[in-house]
Structure formats: structure tokens, C-alpha cells
Amino acid sequence: MAKKQAAAPPKIVPITIDEQGNGPANPTKAIFGDFIRFDNIGDTDRAILYALDGSNATQFDPLCVIVPSYSSVTVLATTANNPAPNSTATVYFKIRTKVRGGAAVRAPDDTYQVIVGSSRKSKLRK
């Protein structure tokens, strides 16, 4: 009787937001089930807005994540569907200064991305 080997445990993928509110220069890579930790090393609260329109990033999800100054927030890399082996999804986001009255205050318009894949597979052992 074959036993399923447990999948690799999730890892924490850090994304640093610097004092100017900038994110990583290169896309961040994670696997479905990993935790993505936004580390704000500046003295201003930051809002992470997820783009609904891909890299164009002019329309955003109505929910955002606030990362307080000198703090971290952790989110889960996930997908609504069961991903096919070796599939990927790209999440685009912008970092804004803060949220005032439900509206994000403008900041540099750089668009950042997290590429989330599904390369973890369960392996059968004999």
C-alpha cells in the first residue's frame, strides 16, 4: 500500500517596503500555501492595493491591507481553484501612503508583482 508523503511545509516569503514606500525591484515568487509577509521599515503606514486589471493597475480590489509603520502583515498565497501542477498566477499590487476616509492617498505609481506557482506535489512512497 502506497503512502502519501506530506507536502513541503509553507514558507514565509518577505517583501520589504522601504522608507520611500517602494517594494521589491524584481517579482516576488511564492508557492500556493506560502505566507507572504509585508515588512514596512518606514515611519509611515502603507496600504497594499491589489490590482483588478493586471499590470495596468488602475482599478483595485475594494479591500486592501494596511501595513503599519515599523510593522509586518502576513497574507496567504492562495487561489480560488485547485491549481493544475506547475500552474502560476500573478498578483499585481501598488503601495500607497495610507488610507484616508476609505480612499488611498497617492504615492509613487510603481506596480509590483507576486508570482504564485503550484510546483509542490505530493509524492507517493512505496
pLDDT at position 51 is 93
Helix, strand, coil share (%) of the chain residues, nearest 5? 0, 45, 50
| Range 12-120: architecture per CATH | Sandwich (2.60)
Q: How wide is the angle at C-alpha 27 spanned by C-alphas 60 and 45, nearest 5°?
A: 55
Average pLDDT on 97-109 reads: 73
- Residue 80 has what pLDDT? 61
Higher-scoring residue by pLDDT: 123, 99:
99
d(CA 24, CA 60): 20
Domain boundaries, given as residue ranges, for the chain: 12-120
d(CA 34, CA 120): 11
d(CA 80, CA 124): 26
Question: What is the Cα–Cα distance from 110 to 93, expressed in whole angstroms?
Answer: 9
Q: Assign 87 a pLDDT band (cuts: 50, 70, 90).
A: confident
Give the pLDDT confidence of 25-70 residue by residue, as tens digits. Answer: 999 999 888 999 999 999 999 999 999 999 988 899 999 999 999 9
Helices (H), ranges, 22-122: none
Strand 35-40 to 71-76 pairing: antiparallel
What's the rounded mean pLDDT across residues 73-95? 83
pLDDT at 86 over 60: yes
pTM above 0.95, yes or no: no
Q: Which residues pair with 30 in a beta bridge?
A: 116
